[in-house]
Every structure is written in C-alpha cells, then in structure tokens.
Chain A
C-alpha cells in the first residue's frame, strides 16, 4: 500500500537520514569539487532529490526559504511547510534560495552578510542538470592542489568569491548528487 499525498516523501527515519544528509552536505562544503550522493527524501517535482533532502536537513522555522520561479509551486510549498515549517520569504531576506541558475541570478538580490557578521548571508541551492568534475579549476581551503567542478556561471561566481569574507555560498544539486562551492574558493576559468 502506498497512498501518495502532498506530504509524502519525507525522511523515513528523520534523525538518521538527516544526520547522513548533513554529513554529505558538510563534506562537500569543506571539500569543494567533491561530489556526493544525497538521498533520503522524495520531494515533489520539480525539486530534485538532492535539493529536497538538503532543504529538509538544513531548514527549520527560523530559516527563510526563497523559491525561485519554476520551483515555486503549491506542492513544493506545502511539502516544505509540512516537513520543515520554514517560512517563505523574498530573495533579499532569504537564508536559503533554491532554483535553477537562470532563475536565481542576479546575485546582488541576496544577503552577503556584513563585515561584523559575515555569516548572515544566503546559501544558494542551484539546481543543475548534472554535476561533473570538469570545467572550472578550483583552488583554496579544503582543496589539495586543485579541483574541477562544472559551474553554471564562472564570471558571476568569481565576482562572488572576490567579495570574501562576504558573499554567498553555493550548493549545486543534480538528481541525487550534491557538490558545493563556498565563498572561500578561488575559481579559475579553464585555460
């Protein structure tokens, strides 16, 4: 028996699934360029499994979520509200923003933190078709020598990195895979 409702697809075992998902999220954020599997939740379309799992893991009633364009459906809102209780806010107030790259830009819509509190910035969850360890060259903390990651837009992300210690952080999600790009990573276009 499997009755599908607008609330189906949450964590089966919330403490365990969330801990595994958090471990994956922390690993990719601390090792830019690394790609990990991220599963556990089955969100409604068009949210990917990785993005849905990430939101269930990271969001609670105190983190505002901004849903960009086509992600912003009634089903996604109901699902996130039931499982996380997170409020939906505008881009300027968001702690987490979810969407495809084309819907998320321009980046100056998001909070980048203040010099006193650089942590008061938005984390962007960018939905990609697929992730690959190719394309832009990454250097910086957490990377031995250099790493490669398929980024949606190199110049914009370079400009974001130049704001360090301010700026946004990125999770890239594609299907069940997740990678991350913290603001501390230097990006070099493939040469």
Chain B
C-alpha cells in the first residue's frame, strides 16, 4: 500500500492546489487524453459543500472570514490501496473525481506520465491565463503624478 508520507507533502500540496483551482473545462480536456483509467472504489462519494475562506490582512493581522465558497470533495482508493483525495472549487462532481484519480495516480508509478500529460500543461495554461489577465489589467493602469504641488 502506498503511504501518503512517502510523498513530500509540499509537492503534493502543489498538485492538489493546481487541481483545486484549475477551470473544469481545461482539466477535463487534459484528463481526456490520459489513456490509463484505473479501477477504483469510493471511500467518500463526491459531495458538494461550503467552506469558509479565511484571510489575513497583510499576512500578519488576525484571521478574518473572507467569504464562503462552494467546494466538491471526494476520496477514492485504487486497486493497489492508493488513496486519492479530490477537493475542487465549484460543484462539478466529474472534476472532483478526476482530481482524486490524478492525486491517486501521482502516488503510483504513473506519476511521471500524468505530470507530463495533465499537470504540466495545466500549470502552463493557468500561468498564461494569469499573465494575460495581469497584462490586460496593467494596460488600464493610470499613473497619477503631480507636476507642481503649489506649496511654495
């Protein structure tokens, strides 16, 4: 049985975060290219719920409630006993299932191929989307400056 502790928590957090935030259409398109679909059993069938997102002002202040968001989660076990968890934003159960399967596969020998086919392209798309949005926002930036302050 693959034990979760064998995988670096930080690395796993990376792909869990990516899967949680990725748009469903992008993830499902890439997941469709994966040929190997292992058999699995549900530990926890996909269920939709809400979580409270908390934040800290400036990274140092007291935590405050930012707002609730919808989350879909599920857990499954592969035939070899590898457990995969999926926690994704939104209410798409197929996306949660895909995320949990990817999490499970990333702990098995298929990790390298899954990373190459799904995770790396997905991360690239997310980066590109973020950069495009930032560029679009940057184009509307207005610089305020004062020619003469008129104080003297």
Contact = CB atoms under 8 A, between A and B. Distances in A.
Interface string B44-82: 110100000000000000000000000000010111110
B83 A14 contact: no
Interface string A1-16: 1111101101001100
Contacts of B47: 14
Main secondary structure of the interface of B (DSSP, over half): strand
Given A10-B44, A14-B45, A14-B47, A5 B79 contact: no
Contacts, number: 33
A7 B81 contact: no
B26 interface: no
B44 A8 contact: no
Contact of B39 (A1, A8, A82): A1
Contacts of A1: 39, 41, 79
A4 B81 contact: yes
B131 interface: no
B79 A8 contact: no
B137 interface: no
Interface string B80-100: 110100000000000000000
B107 to A, nearest CB: 12
The 4 closest A-B pairs by CB, nearest first: A7-B43, A3-B81, A3-B77, A5-B77
17 contacts: A1-B39, A2-B41, A3-B41, A3-B81, A5-B1, A5-B43, A5-B81, A7-B75, A7-B77, A7-B83, A8-B43, A10-B43, A10-B44, A14-B44, A14-B47, A82-B43, A82-B44
Interface of A: 1-5, 7-8, 10, 13-14, 82-83
